[in-house]
Amino acid sequence: MPRTALPRRPALAAALRPALALALLFGAPAAAQDAALEKAPARALGKADTLRAADGWRTSLVAQLQGNQAAYSNWQEGGVNALAFTASAEGSFDRVVGRFLISQNGRLAFGLLRQDTLSFRKAVDVVRYGATVETASDDAFRPYLGVSLRTQFADGYDYDPSPEDYPSLVVVPGEEVRVSTFAAPLVLGQSVGLAYRPGGGFVARSGLALRETAVSVRELRPVYGNGLDQTVRVEVGVDVEAIFERDVMENVRLRSRLTAFQGFGVVGEALPDVLFENALVLKVNDLINVTLNGSALYDRDVSSDLQLRETVALGLTFELL
């Protein structure tokens, strides 16, 4: 995915300050639900999952169309015409088969942005899939196997590139340069370990993991830490994932996902790769909602800077399943 250039900071604390701000922004609503959790049924908090084999598939599939727009004509105080829209679909599919709980989730999102006289540019581009198999029981702790996939649909560009950042690419000052495309990169993961499902909308997993970074375009491989002739780079390490989804108040839902990977080969030399994604959905009615999205990404192989993304959009929601 394309990089967001941020000022370089020699101090680690300064570099991670924006991530702390994001955590506080999205963590505050979650803290407000503590009293509600104390009053929740014991089974919801103390047991792992109420899904049983007789229930069949428990499914959720939601599609959204979102956008925002600003237009000015002879407005003396100034302003920039802007148009942005995003289409997305997010789903989860769970089922108990025999002694195992199978959970699958996926997210597809694509958005474009146009400002003033500039042409349309990509604003959001996400292809993500994950699946886990856990033992089905009422215990909060249980072993699991998991796989994951992350890539994008379309080309991504850096519109203000520097030759130092892209030594393997031809960089012309003042011209955009392609830095990503479909399956470049394609990040795959496999993990085995222990899952924790206490209820209340929270799930955590941690275990040993393999991660493969595949880059199908040769000149883009060094951008993601691969050698020019290295289509796939394999890392062994520890993987951690924490997911929280719950209504924090009436008509307000928080979805939060934190993933981290620490390769054994760089322990003590580099920080873990971290992706922290949040969505706060304010439901106006059954069709209309306002969504605040915030993401923080740190990947030492792509950039030594913290990458941030934030969007606010008014949208239409369609519950397909």
Residue 135 has a pLDDT of 92
Of 117, 119, 112, 121, the closest CA to residue 81 belongs to: 117
The predicted-structure confidence for 13-33, as pLDDT tens digits, reads as follows 444 444 444 444 444 434 444
d(CA 232, CA 215): 7
d(CA 186, CA 16): 26
Residue 143 has a pLDDT of 96
d(CA 221, CA 242): 29
Strand partners, 238: 208, 262
Q: What is the band of 125 on the pLDDT scale with cuts at 50, 70, 90?
A: very high
What percentage of residues in the chain have a pLDDT greater than 70?
85
DSSP string, 188-212: EEEEEEEEEEEETTEEEEEEEEEEE
Degrees (nearest 5) of the Cα angle 239, 8, 261? 5
d(CA 210, CA 148): 10
Residue 86 has a pLDDT of 93
E strand spans, 50-140 = 58-70, 82-97, 100-115, 121-135
Q: What is the band of 2 on the pLDDT scale with cuts at 50, 70, 90?
A: very low
* Mean pLDDT, all residues of the chain: 84
Sign of CA dihedral 212, 4, 262, 28: negative
**Which pTM does this prediction carry?**
0.79
d(CA 287, CA 291): 13
The predicted-structure confidence for 171-217, as pLDDT tens digits, reads as follows 998 899 999 999 999 999 999 999 999 988 899 999 999 999 999 99
216, 220, 276 from 223: Cα distances, Å: 12, 5, 21
- For tokens 């540019």, the residue is 121
d(CA 321, CA 193): 31
Q: Are 318 and 63 in contact (CB under 8 A)?
A: yes
Residue 7 has a pLDDT of 39
- For tokens 């020699």, the residue is 10
- Mean pLDDT for 244-273 is 92
Of 66, 69, 71, 70, the closest CA to residue 85 belongs to: 66
Rounded to 10 degrees, what is the CA torsion of 94, 146, 258, 248?
A: 20
Q: Are 297 and 274 in contact (CB under 8 A)?
A: yes
Residue 49 has a pLDDT of 57
Sign of CA dihedral 12, 21, 92, 51: positive
